[in-house]
Amino acid sequence: MAKVKGLQCLRCDALYPADHYADDCPVCRPVVRSNLVVAYEQPIALRKPDAAGAKLSTGLWRYGDVLPVSEADAVSLGEGGSPLHHLRNAGDQLGLTQLYGKDESGNPTWSFKDRLACMAVSVAKQMGARTIVSSSSGNAGAAAAAYAAKAGIPCVVFTFGWAAGPMVTQMRACGAKVVSVPEKEDRWRFMEHAVRQYGWYPTSPFFGPAVGSNPYGIEGYKTLAYETVEQLGWRVPDWCILPVCYGDALIGMWRGFGEMLAAGWIDRMPKMVAAEVYGSIGQAIDNDLEAPPAMPKTFDTVSGSIGAVQGTFQALQIVRKSQGRAVTISNEDTMRWQQLLASREGRYLEPASAGGLVAVEHLAKAGVIKSDDVVVSLLTASGLKDPAVTAATQGDTLQVPSDMPTATRMLEAAGIFPII
């Protein structure tokens, strides 16, 4: 466990108390709303897992030295330790020899949000929180509900009418009170009222423009970087590609790489890529803006979990610092890559996960990513979180009668049985 000094503004470095988690930086607010990150007393006693005497915990807690909660005090469901798959078939499609997918679909609630919820709820319990609250289209709310249940803390999730049914069911199964509101923005109004008036503990953004999620929760994403480097044999990827809504995992991974660089475990940082739906971060980069602008919602995205029309300062900052890229993805390409990952790699993932591969394809075709670059794409969640999106593209299932001759002729016509 690392000792927390306070919460620090990303933009101006102002330091605030450790309980300032429900706000942004008031100094920067008139210019650019900036998220806060956890600042630790230095130096952090960071021990490499294969070093003599290092504790070899599993999952997220393998790197417990850099987290704000001890493993003994954690609210844990066995999160982290996700596999890094060599996507050879997808790599062949793109001419890339070292394309990998960090597959988070095996986490307790089937998404990478478990890393955030574990940290956020663990700190909430330490601080004596009476109610956990989240605004979510699915993954974040499901994770908050599960970890709140484990902690024995009531949970309320504000969502909206078109949130994926399986994820709402998952939230309610874990005991959360789920409230659906007419518009996405309404979630924040109700949630902010609960945070300000009743002292509820937020795990997700709850005011606009969003600056990012709970700063303690974001610390859980640092372990993605640690695991990736270890799984690559202590090599740093050249590129890390993430589907981005508010950029929580983007900055979390960047902080993890930075800690390893400071400790001498690695000798360089990767380039970070934001795969986004409406192009807010890319617009800021192209026009040298200090903050991502709100973009027009010109279509309904299939990637609901990254469907924000406005990016965050934290996401823009990391893309710029890393000399990375922001790539705008389309529904057509996203669904094409969801199908390719399932049919070529055997991995059925949510559309947002496939969006990362759309960005890889774009950069590979443009010659930005080279054929022998080490590329890691974050595969955020299982496709079973929102199967209706996939089912809508598949058409009807072939139905045949019990009569064998008739069924055989139908199966031959469909190309399922070989024609002799």
Q: How high is the pLDDT of residue 372?
A: 97
What is the rounded CA–CA span in Å between residue 277 and residue 326? Answer: 10
Q: How high is the pLDDT of residue 51?
A: 62
What is the number of other CB atoms lying within 10 angstroms of the CB of residue 388?
Answer: 9
Query: What spatial distance separates the first Cα and last Cα of the chain, rounded to whole Å?
Result: 67
What is the rounded CA–CA span in Å between residue 37 and residue 16? Answer: 10
* Cα–Cα–Cα angle for 20, 25, 30, rounded to 5 degrees: 145
User: Positive or negative CA dihedral for 60, 63, 67, 69?
Assistant: positive
Q: In the structure encoding, which two tokens stand for residue 327, read together?
A: 């790539």
What is the rounded CA–CA span in Å between residue 305 and residue 293? Answer: 19
Q: In the structure encoding, which two tokens stand for residue 102, read together?
A: 């960090």
* Cα–Cα–Cα angle for 289, 247, 106, rounded to 5 degrees: 160
How many Å separate Cα 342 from the centre of its chain?
A: 20
Q: How high is the pLDDT of residue 420?
A: 61
List the alpha helices (DSSP H) in 287-327: 313-321
* 3-class DSSP assignment, residue 212: coil
Q: How high is the pLDDT of residue 158?
A: 93
Q: How high is the pLDDT of residue 275?
A: 98
What is the number of other CB atoms lying within 10 angstroms of the CB of residue 268?
Answer: 8
pLDDT values of the chain reduced to their tens digit, one per residue, 420 residues: 999 999 999 999 999 999 999 999 999 999 999 999 999 998 888 888 876 555 567 899 999 999 999 999 999 999 999 999 999 999 999 999 999 999 999 999 999 999 999 999 999 999 999 999 999 878 999 999 999 999 999 999 999 876 768 889 999 999 999 999 888 778 889 999 999 999 999 999 988 889 999 999 999 999 999 999 999 999 999 999 999 999 999 999 999 999 999 999 999 999 999 999 999 999 999 999 999 999 999 999 999 889 999 999 999 999 999 999 999 999 999 999 999 999 999 999 999 999 999 999 999 999 999 999 999 999 999 999 889 999 999 989 999 999 999 999 999 999 999 866
Of 387, 330, 392, the C-alpha closest to 361 is: 330
Residue reference for tokens 């009531």: 154
What is the rounded CA–CA span in Å between residue 256 and residue 249? Answer: 10
What is the rounded CA–CA span in Å between residue 316 and residue 296? Answer: 18
The amino acid at 131 = T
Q: How high is the pLDDT of residue 102?
A: 98
* 3-class DSSP assignment, residue 138: coil
What is the rounded CA–CA span in Å between residue 139 and residue 172? Answer: 13
What is the rounded CA–CA span in Å between residue 97 and residue 372? Answer: 6
Count of alpha carbons within 13 angstroms of residue 69, beta-carbon side = 27
- Spell out the residues 6+ positions from residue 352 whose beta carbon is closer than 8 angstroms to its own: 243, 303, 304, 305, 306, 334, 380, 381
- Spell out the residues 6+ positions from residue 399 whose beta carbon is closer than 8 angstroms to its own: none
What is the rounded CA–CA span in Å between residue 205 and residue 297? Answer: 20
- Beta partners for residue 271, in sequence order: 239
Domains of the chain and CATH, by start: 84-108+217-391 (3.40.50.1100)
* 3-class DSSP assignment, residue 62: helix
User: What is the 3 state secondary structure string of the chain?
Assistant: CCCEEEEEECCCCCEECCCCCCCCCCCCCCCCCCCEEEEECCCCCCCCCCCCCCCCCCHHHHHHHHCCCCHHHCCCCCCCCCCEEECHHHHHHHCCCEEEEEECCCCCCCECHHHHHHHHHHHHHHCCCCCEEEECCCHHHHHHHHHHHHHCCCEEEEEECCCCHHHHHHHHHCCCEEEEECCHHHHHHHHHHHHHHHCCEECCCCCCCCCCCCHHHHHHHHHHHHHHHHHCCCCCCCEEEEECCCCHHHHHHHHHHHHHHHHCCCCCCCEEEEEECCCHHHHHHHCCCCCCCECCCCCCCCCHHHCCCECCHHHHHHHHHCCCEEEECCHHHHHHHHHHHHHHHCCCECHHHHHHHHHHHHHHHCCCCCCCCEEEEEECEEHHHCHHHHHCCCCCCCCCCCCHHHHHHHHHHCCCCCCC
